[in-house]
Structure formats: structure tokens, C-alpha cells
Amino acid sequence: MTFPYAKTLLACAISVTALLSGCSKDKAATTKSDSLTATSPATGDVSPILERNEKQRLITTFQEQLEKANIKIKVTDIKKTEVPNIYWVNLEGMPSVYATADGKYIIQGDILRLGDTKLHNVSEGLQAQENQKIFEALNTKDLIVYPAQGQTKHIVYVFTDASCPYCHKLHESLPEITAKGIEVRYIAWPRGEQFLPAMESIWCSKDRKAAFESVVKGEAIAPAQCQNPVKSQYLLGLNIGVNGTPAIYSQDGHYLGGYLSADDIVKKLEK
């Protein structure tokens, strides 16, 4: 089995931007782009059939341009943004990108709108909506869940790797985090191929929490194999732009940050 790093879009032209407060993906792996998103689609009174036809035409156009460039990635969705002639393109197994209407140009990076008292990042809204749908589709049986102490006020999703020092630091803070009414749900995200067996062994253990604790402490656990969601969870992370661990998201899909203290998580959730 080959880990899907080699499928990274335009890998030769894109550099890795590691999380400042987390563990970056293993340097031996092929680089991948940052999280790339866009704003909510424009709305209007256009016929739904015409909208579907136009969307399909754009998907076909952009798919053809990718194939001409020998990029073997499937376009799964495309939406208008508030920026004229710029579209938000969903790619299978990859973060989203911006593209021009003719499909000839890809734009990677955030688009900021001027004119308000503060810069407005048009990327956040739609990506959060997509993330929320993804999180809602997850089965908690496929995760490692740490319930809130007392009333559950918030739920956060954390992409984690048991080999990551910042994940260890966050894990040590779990009692403090859950004491603030926050339920923590771990999603497996091995940062390199060499970390995949350990994460699969954790997820295949009878007691995932105990296995994760053991690995965090530097203890060996028995190798285990089973049908497990680790690789699919890794791809899920790629789709939403994860490029390091920990990566913390709110239940409604907003990216909160890498390693954060319990107080900082609460502050971001309450914004």
C-alpha cells in the first residue's frame, strides 16, 4: 500500500506550510498544499436546472484542463464565489482550489476582501460548511471520544497522531478541556507512512484510549490489524486542508488552530 502523498496537486510547485503550533507532516513525504477555500456561492433566481447544467459544464471544463496537464485528480464540485469569474473547486482527496471560469488558471491561497473595518477572509464560510457536513457524517464508533465532564457545551474534532509531541501536550490537557464542558473527538491523521502501523494498531485495539495513552507515554503496544478507518480519515483531513497535527475544529466546521490551551479553545469557541 502506498500512502497517497504522491497525488498532491502540483506537488513540484507547492511548498509545505507547517502549523506553527503543531507537528508538521513527515518531511520524507511528498509536500501538500495549505487549506484552500472560497466563499459561499452566489444566490439568485436562476432556474435550478440551468444552474445544474452550468455547474456540470464548469466541472467538465476544469476536468479537461486538469487532464491536459496530466493531473489525475477528480473534480467533485464547483461553486461561484463573490469574486467575479472565480470559482471554488472541490477535488477528490485534495484541498479545494480557486479556478478561473475557463479552467486555465488555478489560484492557491486565501482571498481577502477590503472595504470593511477589518479584512474579510472569503475562504472561511464555505469551507466551514463543507467541514460541518463531513463531521456530521462521521460515526463516533470510528473515533476516540472523550466526553465532556457534566453538561456538554461544545464538541471539537482533533486530527491527531500519537507520535506528535504537540498532540501529547494537548492530550495531557484533556481533563482540563473536558472539565470546561467540551467533548473531544480524535480523528486519526498519521503524518507519514511510517506512523500508519502504530495508528492502525491503536484503532484496532480493544481499548483505543488505553492504547493511545500507552503510545503517548512511549510504551510499545501489540501490533494489530483489522478493518479500520485510519486511511479514510487521513484522506478526509487532506480534503479539508489538514497539514499537521494537532488540527482542532469546532463542530460547525471552523478551524480553531493547532495546539491550544483549554482556555484558548473556549475563547475561540465562544467567539
Among residues 164, 226, 263, 264, which one is catalytic?
Answer: 164
Q: Are 94 and 238 in contact (CB under 8 A)?
A: yes
Residue pointed to by grid coordinates 464560510: 125
Element housing 106 (H / E)? strand 106-107
Is residue 167 part of the annotated active site? The answer reads: yes
Among residues 161, 185, 204, 263, which one is catalytic?
Answer: 161
| Strand bridging mode 144-146 / 255-257 | unpaired
Cβ-in-10-Å burial (0-12, 13-18, 19+) of 3 comes to middle
One DSSP character per residue, 127-177 reads HHHHHHHHHHH--GGGSEEEPPSSS--EEEEEEE-TT-HHHHHHHHTHHHH
Among residues 23, 34, 185, 191, which one is catalytic?
Answer: 191
CA distance 74 to 34: 19
CA atoms within 13 A on the CB side of 8: 20
Is residue 191 part of the annotated active site? The answer reads: yes
Is residue 161 part of the annotated active site? The answer reads: yes
Residue 65 vs residues 57, 70, 71, 76: alpha-carbon distances, Å = 12, 9, 9, 15
Is residue 12 part of the annotated active site? The answer reads: no
One DSSP character per residue, 199-261 reads HHHHHTSSSHHHHHHHHHTT--------S-SHHHHHHHHHHHT--EE-EEEETTS-EEESS--
Element housing 97 (H / E)? strand 94-100
Among residues 167, 185, 208, 263, which one is catalytic?
Answer: 167
Closest CA to 224 of 202, 208, 203, 201: 201
Residues tagged active-site: 161, 164, 167, 191
